[in-house]
Chain A
């Protein structure tokens, strides 16, 4: 599934059947490349994060969560946390390990069961998930072709 298609999906609390919020983005972590967290827009102010492990299921129309208290305010996360917003790849420059820029990440294609990332999508190409080295404040680093 493409992240752009997952955007706006309702996040539902399985115990109360209430909507907690909507998916706005994600954070990713390398080795192997996977979705580390989902960014949510909730009713209150600011953004909230949900760790991928706390997602019960990622359905075609909604994301279900068993423990809604696991949804945390983005400000409470430490920078080292893989779900911290600094690891959001969307809109960041792609930089190879050898310091060459190749476009901007526009979208992420992932498996909604495992959270594994199939491709990072830029305007020009699809970069395989296994090439991902890291996502930080400045860029998405990928391995360089030998």
Chain B
């Protein structure tokens, strides 16, 4: 069973090598605004007084993401600097997934992104978003299949709205529900 967690919960988690050494802790999560995925983590040193580490950890170099630690193979998984955390030239500065609107393809605005939901394990991936609706309610929206992301909004399929979950416990079934939905939705209204 896949365990989900909010991306925001990854902050402060230790980064641990398979040899059991902690080589840093997650400071910030950097999203890729062109895909909606996580691009990398910025890191801080371990301990109360240690400052930023200035070495980024790319998402693809994460060995596994768990509820208690971010696992990496060894110290070489870290980049030499943190240039990966700064936006590329083709992106407008300040663009972030957090705060952008989520809109269905048919044009209903579902809310604004407050966090991403990440599937933990050996192949961690962004599985959905936490969205604050116009009624100030927070719901978790699974994403499946092609989504379109720009700096302004995330476009999701219309079915997404029917498979939202109120908390992480129900998110797994929402993902399953969206993935296994009939191709022609019988509940047309």
Contacts and interface: CB of A to CB of B under 8 A. Distances in A.
Interface of A: 86, 92, 95-101, 133-141, 144
B18 A99 contact: no
6 tightest A-B CB contacts, nearest first: A99-B66, A136-B20, A136-B21, A138-B22, A134-B19, A98-B64
A98 B66 CA distance: 5
B45 interface: no
B120 A98 contact: yes
Given A92-B20, A137-B22, 6 more contacts: A95-B68, A98-B66, A99-B64, A99-B65, A133-B20, A138-B21
Given A138-B14, A139-B69, A98 B20 contact: no
A61 to B, nearest CB: 33
Interface of B: 13-14, 16-22, 63-71, 120-122
A51 B17 CA distance: 24
Chain B interface SS verdict (over half): loop
A134 B63 contact: no
B21 A133 contact: no
Nearest to A146: B122
B63 A141 contact: no
A97 B20 contact: no
A101 B19 contact: no
A52 B141 CA distance: 55
16 contacts: A95-B16, A95-B66, A97-B18, A97-B64, A99-B66, A99-B68, A101-B67, A133-B18, A134-B18, A136-B16, A136-B17, A136-B20, A137-B21, A141-B20, A141-B71, A144-B64
B16 A98 contact: no
Nearest to A138: B22
Contacts of B17: 134, 136, 141
Given A97-B71, A99-B70, A99-B120, A141 B18 contact: yes
Contacts of B122: 97-98
